[in-house]
Amino acid sequence: MKSKGLYGRKYLDVNVETREIGPPDENHVIVKVQACGVCGTDINFVRDWEGDLMPLGHEISAEVIAIGKNVKNVKPGDSVIVEDCTMCGVCRDCKSGHPEFCRNMYNMENQPGMGEYLSVNYNCLNRFEGLDYVSASLTEPLAVSLTSVVNAEIPLGGSVVVLGPGPLGLMSAKIAKLRGAGFVAITGLPADNPREKARFTLARKWGCDLVLESGKHDIESEIKKIFPEGVDRVIVSSPPQSLYNAFKVIHFGGIITFYGLHFGGKNMVNVDINDMIFRKITLKPTFAEPAINFPVAINLLKEGLLPAKDIITHTFGFNQTKEIMEAIINGSQPIIKAVLVPGK
């Protein structure tokens, strides 16, 4: 069958390309994409990536269309979340209880999640029920936020600062509250455009104790008015340069977690190793292990503890992709989370 998909690179060079998908081999499953969220990495590709066109989209909910002869975990008609990468389960790290270190992962084989159909290994699928496809597409990014919060080891009643009020940052703040944080602050760009206003409004609705706008507030001084020695944990959900603010507000012995891929030189930062050593600060990245938390993420969505309707503000079809991505970049629309619906 033929399948349209989206590919992109710098300067909002977004292209719809058609490729052929054959029958599934013995361990593969053909799925029809029903919804795919726009990730910050997708935005970074179309804003900063200077190489070849990259397949866009990995936050996928889909319907099973056909299965290979060895596939037993799903059947045609099932609703599934597609993991963009998942652990092998048999390597040394997986068997020793550290699947997050697996280097033999199954992945999407350079296919765009923002497409019509995918052929994926059956290990990459998680069945779900009781959720609509658009809400279910939030599973992967929610699992990223959940993993980062778990990695932060927030003490009960502890203090947390989230740097960046994008979808991952907002969900991290919400989960930190659910896991017992006593104080959660969130920081971001000045709320002088519809995008930032919408994000700060949701931060307040979701119970953030303090909302700070960089440029209008000095982050360090505002935090240290409340916590003179700094906060217990910082979650960085913004460009790597935000690590400088993280070091300014973290308590002695604190943990900083971070996630997100960046390009065009934005991935490089200078870190004072002496400061980390003297203050015993721990840095913990989150990458490629969120699938561990997919079941928890699905339950959070099903139970309404993380209301998808609050954060998914826009859905769009193929023809609106460039417009939506441009609006996310320039802040001209009140977009918190946008989701591609291929049939729209």
Do 267 and 323 lie in a common domain? no
CB distance 73 to 34 below 8 Å: no
Q: Are residues 199 and 159 in the same domain?
A: yes
Question: Quick count: other Cβ atoms within 10 Å of Cβ 209?
Answer: 17
User: Collapsing DSSP states into helix, strand and coil, what is residue 296?
Assistant: helix
- What pLDDT is stored for residue 324 in this prediction? 97
Residue range(s) defining the domain that contains residue 317: 2-138+306-340
Same domain, 159 and 273: yes
CA–CA separation, 65 vs 63, rounded Å?
A: 6
| Same domain, residue pair 264 and 318 | no
Q: Are residues 251 and 271 in the same domain?
A: yes
Angle at alpha carbon of residue 110, lines to 43 and 58, rounded to 5°: 45
Single-letter amino acid, residue 234? V
Residues 104 and 204 in one domain: no
DSSP state string for 3-34: EEEEEEETTTEEEEEEEE-----TTEEEEEEE
Residue 291 lies inside a defined structural domain of this protein: no
Number of structural domains found in the chain: 2
Domain of 323: which CATH number? 3.90.180.10
pLDDT value of position 8: 97
Contact 338, 38 (CB under 8 A): yes
Can you give the pLDDT at residue 181? 98
Residue 21 and residue 13: Cα distance in Å, rounded? Answer: 24
166 three-state secondary structure: coil
pLDDT number for residue 100: 83
The pLDDT value recorded for residue 60 is 98
Bridge pairing between strands 79-82 and 59-67: antiparallel
Its pTM stands at: 0.95
Which CATH number fits the domain that encloses residue 180? 3.40.50.720
Strand, coil or helix: 303: coil
Can you say how many angstroms the Cα of residue 99 is from the centroid of all Cα atoms in its chain?
19
pLDDT along the chain (344 residues), means of 10: 96 95 96 97 95 96 98 97 90 90 89 97 94 97 95 97 97 97 97 96 98 93 97 94 94 95 86 94 84 91 97 97 97 98 92
CA 162 to chain centre: 14
Residue for token digits 């009960």?
156
Q: Is 344 within 8 Å of 315 (Cβ atoms)? A: yes
